[in-house]
Amino acid sequence: MPRASLISCCTRLHAPTTRLSLFRRSHHNKLTPSSTRCFGHNDCRHQMEQLDLSANTVIDHPRALTDKLTLIRDAGPSKFQVIADFDGTLTRYRVNGVRGQSSHGILQQGNADYDAKREALYEHYHPLEFSPLIPLEEKTKLMEEWWSKTHDLLIEGGLTFDAIKQSVSSSAIAFRDGVVELFEFLEEKEIPVLIFSAGLADVIEEVLRQKLHRTFKNVKIVSNRMVFDDDGRLVSFKGKLIHVLNKNEHALDMAAPLHDQLGVDNGGEGEENAYVKQRTNVLLLGDHMGDLRMSDGLNYESRISIGFLNDNVEKSLESYRKAFDIVYLNDAPMWGALEIASQLFPTEAS
């Protein structure tokens, strides 16, 4: 199905609010004039998904969202970027009915003792990460401890790049439907996507390669990056440790280009950082309240935030709906973000 038709189908079906629908209709007309053939909802493979998406969308302040859309659209694509979390945001929370894996969680280092040691760390620290009783400062120290110990185990246990490839190929990790289409759309518009993650950059890049079957020159990973020796064995980690509670503090300064792995030369890191910092309008995608801080390093003008509330909906919805402009519930697909991007910078029908 041509992209314009796909977007128009999804656009009509996904109508969470009246005000947003009005905005959408004017752009829908622009996107697909009556002469453009729509393949029809019976043929739209995303129809049911989109109906579900409407039911799983919460927008507390549609008017404010419409205003932001107008500001960002008027400033144009050259001022715009997308900042996304990886685990549970670009990837699904559940895969085939069970909890999907994280970029840290999939790693089997080919040494059962060390895999068990890392698992034991997870069992110990993971509940602490979500404990409401631990003050932030103390929790930050605990997270540093957890990440450091995990990285040390990966080095001591002799992780190889081949083990990463094998771990990814046998993993239960899957992207949300619509991620490829979103990246493609943004690539066509030359809009950068920064993926911020407290996971492992080398693993995430391998997941992109294996699960999306293609690479995107506009997508960059800011995460913990490994250094391998000539035999492909992990010897150290580059740069500052990025854990779940500090990933946003220095993320923009660490926005390293992917050219090492993907053959894309975007110039030096300094130029790259200046480039992303000039893009002061942001679409932020996250699944954690802390992900809202991913834009902290940027003196942004307008920001639209999308929160994926994957679990504990009843308990967390109140805070998510206040914090994010749009909340998608129940492990929703990525079509809503694609719709926002296509409303902002529509592709004219030829």
By beta-carbon proximity to Mg ion, the closer residue of 8 and 197 is: 197
Question: Is residue 297 a contact partner of residue 249, using CB atoms and an 8 Å limit?
Answer: yes
Binders of Mg ion among residues 215 to 254 (CB under 5 A) are none
Tell me if residue 339 falls in helix, strand or coil. helix
Sequence-distant contacts of 253-260: CB under 8 A, at least 24 apart: 253/297, 254/222, 255/194, 255/220, 255/222, 256/201, 256/220, 256/221, 256/222, 256/225, 257/220, 258/205, 258/215, 258/219, 258/220, 258/221
> Angle at CA 114, nearest 5°, toward 108 and 115?
35
By beta-carbon proximity to Mg ion, the closer residue of 71 and 313 is: 313
* Catalytic residue of the set 43, 52, 74, 85: 85
> Out of 88, 105, 257, 297, which residue is the one contacting Mg ion (CB under 5 A)?
88
- Look-up: residue for tokens 């280009």? 257
Return the structure tokens found at 181: 């289409």
> Out of 10, 73, 85, 171, which residue is the one contacting Mg ion (CB under 5 A)?
85
By beta-carbon proximity to Mg ion, the closer residue of 156 and 311 is: 311
Nearest approach in angstroms of CB 286 to Mg ion is: 7
Question: Is residue 106 a contact partner of residue 211, using CB atoms and an 8 Å limit?
Answer: no
331 counts as binding Mg ion under rule CB under 5 A: no
105 counts as binding Mg ion under rule CB under 5 A: no
Beta bridge partners of 227: 236
Number of residues binding to Mg ion, judged by CB under 5 A: 4
Task: State how far the Cα of 155 lies from the Cα of 239, in Å rounded to an integer.
Answer: 15
* Catalytic residue of the set 87, 202, 291, 331: 87
Catalytic residue at 311?
no
Nearest approach in angstroms of CB 13 to Mg ion is: 27
Nearest approach in angstroms of CB 322 to Mg ion is: 19
Catalytic residue at 331?
no
Return the structure tokens found at 192: 């950068």
Query: Rg for the chain (alpha carbons), in Å?
Result: 20
By beta-carbon proximity to Mg ion, the closer residue of 62 and 88 is: 88
Nearest approach in angstroms of CB 212 to Mg ion is: 18
By beta-carbon proximity to Mg ion, the closer residue of 109 and 310 is: 310
- Look-up: residue for tokens 């980690």? 237
By beta-carbon proximity to Mg ion, the closer residue of 191 and 309 is: 309
Single-letter residue type at 161? F
Task: State how far the Cα of 210 lies from the Cα of 204, in Å rounded to an integer.
Answer: 10
Task: Report how far apart, in Å, the C-alpha atoms of 80 and of each of 4, 186, 263, 346 are.
Answer: 21, 10, 24, 14
> Out of 287, 325, 331, 339, which residue is the one contacting Mg ion (CB under 5 A)?
287
Nearest approach in angstroms of CB 290 to Mg ion is: 9
Task: State how far the Cα of 278 lies from the Cα of 148, in Å rounded to an integer.
Answer: 33
87 counts as binding Mg ion under rule CB under 5 A: yes
By beta-carbon proximity to Mg ion, the closer residue of 90 and 153 is: 90
Nearest approach in angstroms of CB 173 to Mg ion is: 12
Nearest approach in angstroms of CB 129 to Mg ion is: 12
Positions touching Mg ion (CB under 5 A) are 85, 87-88, 287
Catalytic residues: 85, 87
